[in-house]
Amino acid sequence: MDILKAHPYNLRPGHLVIVRVAGKNDAGWGAYSGPNTVGAPIASVPYQLGAPQVVEKTQSSITLSWPRYYGSGAGQTFDHDYQLEWCPPTIDGSDCEWTDLRYTSSTTYTHEALTSGVLYKYRVRATCVCEQA
């Protein structure tokens, strides 16, 4: 199933979304269907992971942790991998850009070679073939 690409706070129960689907097998992804014409009702708001928490820090490193997410689809429960992103500080103080830092199946990560006294921003998302959180 294609991954829903929307911010969870824009999805409200009772509203309709327009969806397209594509299948995947050993040969790869098939073509997308046309969009549904009447919309699909949203039954519940998707789960949203919280921000990573600092569990340990030194002068030059930080260890982050987040709760394990077990999503479900088609009546099954799936363990997920995680995409950790960071927003590296900019020299001129302009807005930073979110950048992939690590893909992992672990729920902790130690980021090293950091500068003491600098603000670093992080976010994490759970990923699976069936969904994102």
- Give me the residue spans of the domains in the chain: 1-46, 47-133
- Which tens digit of pLDDT belongs to each residue from 45-95? 556 777 899 999 999 999 999 988 766 554 445 567 888 999 888 777 678
Could you tell me which of 62, 67, 37 has the C-alpha nearest to residue 50? 67
Highest mean pLDDT among 65-74, 98-107, 119-128: 98-107
- Which tens digit of pLDDT belongs to each residue from 5-42? 444 445 566 666 677 777 888 888 888 888 876 766 66
Architecture in CATH of 47-133: Sandwich (2.60)
Per-residue pLDDT band for 111 (boundaries 50, 70, 90) equals very high
Q: What phi, psi does 9 have (nearest 5°)?
A: -70, -10
